[in-house]
Amino acid sequence: IELIVPTVPHLLAQVTQATSAWPVRPRIVVEQAEKQAALRIARAALAKSGTTTLELAVAGVPMVAAYSASKGGMDALTRCVAMDYAQQKIRCNSVCPGLVDTPMASGLINNPEALAQIMTAYPLGRPGTSEEVAKLILYLASDESSWVTGSIFPIDGGMTAH
């Protein structure tokens, strides 16, 4: 199993921590150019692959237009790679976590006023955990998801359901 993690430090830490208990240790690939990494994985004919993007691709956030556009591009790339390599039985899906309780988010999570304001956008009313994100990634990397490709999976406590 090979997982692509964009160059966002908290995501690398989150994925590393969350996959530490997996029965099969994935190879975690950190790439500046996610497109090149996705194509490299596809060319290697892996049975499963995945990318991680943030929810900014599916929910507009003020003052981060370029970053949001890059995440939207990753979602489009996920769908294109899925189509391009489906005949080779290579699947590509994207996981889009919302606010997850990680060391990088600790400043926000440990600030009750700021956290309360942010949580108004999350119908489930709490940050996610690394374990919750890891379980979704594990599902996508397993044979249980053998008919899943080209899909974008927000895991964000309902934030993008608005």
Helix, strand, or coil here: 13?
Answer: helix
b (16+ CB within 10 A) / e for 62-100: eeeeeebebbeebbebbbebbeebeeeebbbbbbbbbbb
Q: Is 139 a catalytic residue?
A: no
Residue 113 burial (C-beta neighbours within 10 Å; 0-12, 13-18, 19+): exposed
Name the catalytic one among 67, 85, 122, 139: 67
Rounded (10°) angle between helices 34-43 and 65-85: 10
| CB 3 within 8 Å of CB 50 | yes
The catalytic residue positions are 67
